[in-house]
Amino acid sequence: MLKEFKKFALKGNVIDLAVGVVIGAAFGKVVTSLVEDIIMPLIGLLIGGINFTGLHFKLGDAVLKYGNFIQTIVQFVIIAFSIFLVVKLLNKLKRSEHAVEEETVPELSKEEQLLTEIRDLLKGKQTNE
């Protein structure tokens, strides 16, 4: 069982996942700080200095903190948008890498071109028979 666990733990997918979780947690902290320390104070200024976290009302003995809920929604939207931008950037980089790889395909020599044509003709004959 120890060998199986070692094989599982050392697979590339598990290690990639672990790295992704650690980077995601760090990225989440950066985005949370961006929201709490920069964006929310600016939004508070724009709407008259209101701090969302202080918004609440009492219903009997219960305190409904809808300001925290609003702040959490704003954080979610910003985090989701940030992840969207990162994924979009990564996809763009992947596409540009593939474009570079396609451009670097060497041209075929005359012999290779002729052999390719012969191969294609032979394939055509086999499918017709």
Summarize pLDDT for 95-117 with one digit per residue, the tens: 877 666 666 667 788 888 888 88
Q: Is 48 left (phi over 0), alpha (psi -120 to 50) or beta?
A: left
Q: Which pLDDT belongs to residue 49?
A: 67
Q: Which tokens belong to 24? A: 């995601």
| Domains contained in the chain, CATH given | 2-120 (1.10.1200.120)
Instruction: Tell me the per-residue pLDDT of 82-93, one tens digit each, with 9 for 90 and over.
Output: 778 878 888 888
Rounded to whole angstroms, how far apart are CA atoms 32 and 35?
A: 5
Instruction: Tell me the per-residue pLDDT of 18-49, one tens digit each, with 9 for 90 and over.
Output: 888 888 888 888 877 877 788 777 877 887 76
Backbone φ and ψ of 58, nearest 5°:
-100, 140
Q: Which pLDDT belongs to residue 105?
A: 62
- pTM for this model (two decimals): 0.47
Confidence of residue 2 (pLDDT cuts 50, 70, 90): confident
Does residue 31 contact residue 78 with C-beta atoms inside 8 Å? yes
